Structure 1
C-alpha cells in the first residue's frame, strides 16, 4: 500500500518536472523571439533615421511594413505577441456548441 502511494507520488513529481521544463523552454524561446524582434526594429529605425525610406528599409529586411507596425505598440515599445485577432471561420459559435451539447 505504501509502495503504491510512493510510486504515484514519484510519477506525479516526474510529470511536474517535465511540465516545468517544457514551460521554461517555451519562456526561453519567447525571450529569444522578443530579442530578435527588438534588434530588427532597432536596425529598421536606425536605417530610417539615417535617411532610408521606410518601405525600402522594410523590403531590404524582407519584412512587410504592416509587420513592423504590428511589432510596435502605441508607446513605441516592442509589443507582446497578441496571437490571432479573430476566430477562425470554421470554429463553431457558442450557440452552435450549446445546440450540439447532449442534455
Structure 2
C-alpha cells in the first residue's frame, strides 16, 4: 500500500482552487472546498474537473498542469483528466 503526503495533496488542491478563483462561483468553490476539508481529495479533484466541463469553463495551462500533477501524485489515471479537459484549456 502506498502512503501519500496528504498535506502536499491538500496544498496542491488549494493552489488549484486559488487559480480558479476568478472563474468559479462561490458556490462552486465551496463545493470543492468541502471535499478538501473532509479529506476527500479524489472527490475534490473530480468535482472540480466536472464543474469545468459542465459549466463550459476555460482554465489556464497552469491549472491544467496542476490537475495532471495531482492525478499523478494521487495515482489516478492522468489520461482520463487530460481527455475530460480537452478543449477547456486556454493557453496550452
Report the TM-score when normalising by structure 1: 0.27
Report the TM-score when normalising by structure 2: 0.29
Whose Rg is larger? 1
User: Greater relative contact order (Cα 8 A, min sep 6): structure 1 or 2?
Assistant: 2
